[in-house]
Protein backbone atom coordinates (compact mmCIF):
# COMPACT_ATOMS: atom_id res chain seq x y z
CA UNK A 1 0.00 0.00 0.00
CA UNK A 2 1.21 3.49 -0.87
CA UNK A 3 0.12 6.76 0.73
CA UNK A 4 1.18 10.24 -0.44
CA UNK A 5 1.17 13.41 1.65
CA UNK A 6 2.51 16.95 1.41
CA UNK A 7 4.99 19.13 3.27
CA UNK A 8 6.05 17.78 6.68
CA UNK A 9 8.57 20.51 7.62
CA UNK A 10 10.14 18.54 10.44
CA UNK A 11 6.91 18.63 12.44
CA UNK A 12 6.86 15.58 14.68
CA UNK A 13 3.06 15.69 14.92
CA UNK A 14 2.89 14.71 11.25
CA UNK A 15 3.72 11.19 12.42
CA UNK A 16 1.11 11.19 15.19
CA UNK A 17 -1.66 8.78 14.20
CA UNK A 18 -4.27 10.66 16.23
CA UNK A 19 -3.59 13.92 14.39
CA UNK A 20 -2.93 12.26 11.01
CA UNK A 21 -5.32 9.28 11.07
CA UNK A 22 -4.42 8.11 7.56
CA UNK A 23 -1.17 6.80 9.08
CA UNK A 24 -3.20 4.08 10.81
CA UNK A 25 -3.70 2.50 7.39
CA UNK A 26 0.03 1.89 6.94
CA UNK A 27 1.68 -1.30 8.10
CA UNK A 28 4.54 -3.65 7.42
CA UNK A 29 5.88 -3.28 3.89
CA UNK A 30 3.84 -0.16 3.06
CA UNK A 31 5.13 3.22 1.87
CA UNK A 32 4.49 6.83 2.85
CA UNK A 33 5.68 9.32 0.22
CA UNK A 34 6.28 12.94 1.26
CA UNK A 35 6.07 15.38 -1.66
CA UNK A 36 8.89 17.65 -0.48
CA UNK A 37 9.86 19.80 2.50
CA UNK A 38 10.47 16.72 4.62
CA UNK A 39 12.53 18.82 7.02
CA UNK A 40 13.86 16.09 9.30
CA UNK A 41 17.32 16.43 7.76
CA UNK A 42 17.52 20.14 8.43
CA UNK A 43 18.85 21.19 11.84
CA UNK A 44 21.16 18.18 12.07
CA UNK A 45 20.88 18.30 15.87
CA UNK A 46 20.43 15.56 18.46
CA UNK A 47 16.65 15.96 18.73
CA UNK A 48 16.32 15.58 14.97
CA UNK A 49 18.57 12.52 14.94
CA UNK A 50 16.57 11.02 17.79
CA UNK A 51 13.33 11.49 15.87
CA UNK A 52 14.84 9.92 12.76
CA UNK A 53 15.68 6.94 14.99
CA UNK A 54 12.01 6.91 16.02
CA UNK A 55 10.96 6.88 12.37
CA UNK A 56 13.36 3.99 11.81
CA UNK A 57 11.15 1.90 14.11
CA UNK A 58 8.04 2.39 11.98
CA UNK A 59 6.73 -0.73 10.21
CA UNK A 60 6.46 1.14 6.90
CA UNK A 61 9.01 2.98 4.74
CA UNK A 62 9.10 6.77 4.54
CA UNK A 63 10.08 8.06 1.10
CA UNK A 64 10.55 11.76 0.46
CA UNK A 65 11.51 14.06 -2.35
CA UNK A 66 13.25 17.29 -1.43
CA UNK A 67 11.43 20.58 -1.40
CA UNK A 68 12.85 24.07 -1.06
CA UNK A 69 13.12 23.98 2.73
CA UNK A 70 15.79 21.29 3.07
CA UNK A 71 19.38 21.26 4.31
CA UNK A 72 21.08 20.24 1.09
CA UNK A 73 24.55 20.31 2.64
CA UNK A 74 23.50 17.57 5.03
CA UNK A 75 21.46 15.61 2.48
CA UNK A 76 24.36 15.44 0.03
CA UNK A 77 26.69 14.03 2.70
CA UNK A 78 24.77 10.75 2.62
CA UNK A 79 26.23 8.18 0.20
CA UNK A 80 24.60 7.99 -3.21
CA UNK A 81 22.98 4.58 -3.64
CA UNK A 82 20.55 2.85 -6.00
CA UNK A 83 17.11 1.68 -4.93
CA UNK A 84 14.28 0.29 -7.07
CA UNK A 85 15.75 1.73 -10.26
CA UNK A 86 16.78 5.22 -9.15
CA UNK A 87 19.31 7.18 -7.13
CA UNK A 88 18.62 7.68 -3.42
CA UNK A 89 20.09 8.71 -0.08
CA UNK A 90 19.37 6.33 2.80
CA UNK A 91 18.79 8.53 5.86
CA UNK A 92 17.75 5.45 7.80
CA UNK A 93 17.06 1.97 6.46
CA UNK A 94 13.40 2.88 6.02
CA UNK A 95 13.76 6.67 5.54
CA UNK A 96 14.84 7.30 1.97
CA UNK A 97 15.43 10.47 -0.06
CA UNK A 98 14.16 10.03 -3.62
CA UNK A 99 16.28 12.23 -5.85
CA UNK A 100 15.42 14.55 -8.72
CA UNK A 101 14.72 13.19 -12.15
CA UNK A 102 14.55 9.52 -11.17
CA UNK A 103 12.13 6.74 -12.07
CA UNK A 104 11.42 4.16 -9.36
CA UNK A 105 9.45 0.93 -9.39
CA UNK A 106 7.34 0.68 -6.21
CA UNK A 107 4.74 -2.05 -5.80
CA UNK A 108 4.81 -2.65 -9.54
CA UNK A 109 4.13 1.00 -10.39
CA UNK A 110 6.50 3.53 -11.96
CA UNK A 111 7.08 6.84 -10.17
CA UNK A 112 8.90 9.82 -11.64
CA UNK A 113 10.18 12.20 -8.96
CA UNK A 114 11.44 15.73 -9.18
CA UNK A 115 12.00 17.80 -6.05
CA UNK A 116 12.98 21.42 -5.61
CA UNK A 117 11.20 24.74 -5.44
CA UNK A 118 11.69 28.44 -4.77
CA UNK A 119 11.54 29.89 -1.24
CA UNK A 120 9.47 33.06 -1.22
CA UNK A 121 10.63 33.58 2.37
CA UNK A 122 14.35 33.31 1.67
CA UNK A 123 14.83 36.98 2.60
CA UNK A 124 14.07 35.87 6.17
CA UNK A 125 16.60 33.05 6.01
CA UNK A 126 20.37 32.74 6.13
CA UNK A 127 22.27 30.99 3.37
CA UNK A 128 23.93 27.78 4.52
CA UNK A 129 21.92 27.82 7.76
CA UNK A 130 18.24 27.94 6.83
CA UNK A 131 18.35 28.38 3.04
CA UNK A 132 20.38 26.74 0.29
CA UNK A 133 20.76 27.71 -3.36
CA UNK A 134 20.37 24.05 -4.32
CA UNK A 135 16.64 24.40 -3.65
CA UNK A 136 16.32 25.13 -7.38
CA UNK A 137 17.40 22.33 -9.73
CA UNK A 138 20.54 22.39 -11.81
CA UNK A 139 20.76 21.98 -15.57
CA UNK A 140 22.26 18.52 -15.03
CA UNK A 141 19.24 17.49 -12.93
CA UNK A 142 16.82 18.76 -15.57
CA UNK A 143 18.68 16.83 -18.25
CA UNK A 144 18.91 13.65 -16.20
CA UNK A 145 15.17 13.74 -15.61
CA UNK A 146 14.44 13.88 -19.33
CA UNK A 147 16.94 11.14 -20.10
CA UNK A 148 15.39 8.85 -17.48
CA UNK A 149 11.88 9.51 -18.78
CA UNK A 150 13.11 8.74 -22.28
CA UNK A 151 14.47 5.40 -21.04
CA UNK A 152 10.94 4.60 -19.92
CA UNK A 153 9.43 5.81 -23.21
CA UNK A 154 7.93 8.82 -21.40
CA UNK A 155 5.37 6.64 -19.68
CA UNK A 156 5.00 6.27 -15.89
CA UNK A 157 2.15 5.66 -13.50
CA UNK A 158 2.63 8.56 -11.09
CA UNK A 159 4.59 11.79 -10.96
CA UNK A 160 5.61 13.23 -7.58
CA UNK A 161 7.00 16.76 -7.48
CA UNK A 162 7.21 19.56 -4.96
CA UNK A 163 6.46 22.39 -7.39
CA UNK A 164 3.69 22.44 -9.99
CA UNK A 165 3.91 22.58 -13.78
CA UNK A 166 3.38 25.99 -15.33
CA UNK A 167 -0.21 25.47 -16.51
CA UNK A 168 -1.30 24.34 -13.04
CA UNK A 169 0.72 27.01 -11.25
CA UNK A 170 -1.00 29.65 -13.33
CA UNK A 171 -4.33 28.52 -11.90
CA UNK A 172 -3.02 29.04 -8.37
CA UNK A 173 -0.49 31.91 -8.38
CA UNK A 174 -0.10 33.61 -11.78
CA UNK A 175 2.76 35.73 -10.40
CA UNK A 176 5.53 33.19 -9.78
CA UNK A 177 8.44 34.43 -11.88
CA UNK A 178 11.26 33.37 -9.48
CA UNK A 179 10.23 29.71 -9.81
CA UNK A 180 9.13 29.82 -13.44
CA UNK A 181 12.19 28.00 -14.81
CA UNK A 182 11.23 24.92 -12.77
CA UNK A 183 7.51 25.29 -13.51
CA UNK A 184 8.22 25.44 -17.25
CA UNK A 185 10.41 22.34 -17.02
CA UNK A 186 7.63 20.46 -15.26
CA UNK A 187 5.22 21.70 -17.92
CA UNK A 188 7.44 20.07 -20.53
CA UNK A 189 7.38 16.85 -18.50
CA UNK A 190 3.58 17.10 -18.42
CA UNK A 191 3.35 17.54 -22.19
CA UNK A 192 5.74 14.71 -23.05
CA UNK A 193 4.80 12.09 -20.45
CA UNK A 194 1.89 9.76 -20.09
CA UNK A 195 0.83 9.32 -16.45
CA UNK A 196 -2.16 8.34 -14.34
CA UNK A 197 -1.90 11.08 -11.73
CA UNK A 198 0.45 13.86 -10.65
CA UNK A 199 0.86 14.84 -6.97
CA UNK A 200 2.61 17.97 -5.74
CA UNK A 201 2.77 20.07 -2.56
CA UNK A 202 4.71 23.28 -1.74
CA UNK A 203 1.78 25.71 -1.49
CA UNK A 204 0.20 24.50 1.77
CA UNK A 205 -3.23 23.82 0.30
CA UNK A 206 -5.32 20.80 -0.67
CA UNK A 207 -6.92 20.87 -4.11
CA UNK A 208 -7.59 18.84 -7.24
CA UNK A 209 -6.98 20.34 -10.68
CA UNK A 210 -8.04 19.31 -14.21
CA UNK A 211 -5.83 16.77 -15.90
CA UNK A 212 -5.34 14.49 -12.86
CA UNK A 213 -3.35 16.84 -10.65
CA UNK A 214 -3.62 16.95 -6.86
CA UNK A 215 -1.99 19.39 -4.47
CA UNK A 216 -1.40 17.95 -1.00
CA UNK A 217 -0.56 19.41 2.37
CA UNK A 218 -1.46 17.57 5.57
CA UNK A 219 -3.90 15.07 4.08
CA UNK A 220 -2.83 11.62 2.97
CA UNK A 221 -4.09 9.92 -0.19
CA UNK A 222 -3.83 6.17 -0.79
CA UNK A 223 -3.16 5.04 -4.34
For position 217, what pLDDT does the model report? 98
Convert the pLDDT of each residue in 119-140 to its tens digit.
999 889 999 888 899 999 999 9
Convert the pLDDT of each residue in 5-37 to its tens digit.
999 999 999 999 999 999 999 999 999 999 999
Instruction: Using DSSP, state whether 14 is helix, strand or coil.
Output: helix
* Burial class for 221, CB neighbours closer than 10 Å (0-12, 13-18, 19+): middle
Which residue range forms the structural domain that includes residue 212? 2-222
For position 219, what pLDDT does the model report? 96
Mean pLDDT of 44-73: 97
Mean pLDDT of 169-189: 96
For position 122, what pLDDT does the model report? 87
Nearest to 37 by CA among 19, 10, 16, 18: 10
For position 94, what pLDDT does the model report? 98
As beta bridge partners, residue 90 has: 96
pTM of the model: 0.97
For position 5, what pLDDT does the model report? 98
Percentage of the residues of the chain whose pLDDT score is greater than 90: 96
Task: State how many domains the chain has.
Answer: 1
From residue 145, alpha-carbon distances to 1, 59, 218 in Å are 26, 31, 27
Nearest to 65 by CA among 101, 98, 93: 98
Percentage of the residues of the chain whose pLDDT score is greater than 70: 100
Report the chain's mean pLDDT, rounded to a whole number: 97
What is the CATH classification number for the domain harbouring 66? Answer: 3.60.21
Q: Specify whether the backbone of 36 is left (phi greater than 0), alpha (psi in -120 to 50) or beta.
A: left
Convert the pLDDT of each residue in 67-99 to its tens digit.
999 999 999 999 999 999 999 999 999 999 999
DSSP designation for 183: H
For position 58, what pLDDT does the model report? 98
- Would you say 112 and 185 are in contact if contact means Cβ atoms under 8 Å apart? no
Mean pLDDT of 149-174: 97
From residue 68, alpha-carbon distances to 57, 60, 84, 150, 152 in Å are 27, 25, 25, 26, 27
The rounded distance, in Å, linking the Cα atoms of 87 and 85 is: 7
Amino acid sequence: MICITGDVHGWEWRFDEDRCPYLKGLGEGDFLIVAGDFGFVFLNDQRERNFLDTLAKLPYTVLFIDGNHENFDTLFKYPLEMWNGGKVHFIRENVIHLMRGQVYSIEGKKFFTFGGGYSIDKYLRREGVSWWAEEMPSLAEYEEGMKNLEKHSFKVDYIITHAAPESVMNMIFPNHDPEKELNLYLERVKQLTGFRHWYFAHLHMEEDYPGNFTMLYTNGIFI
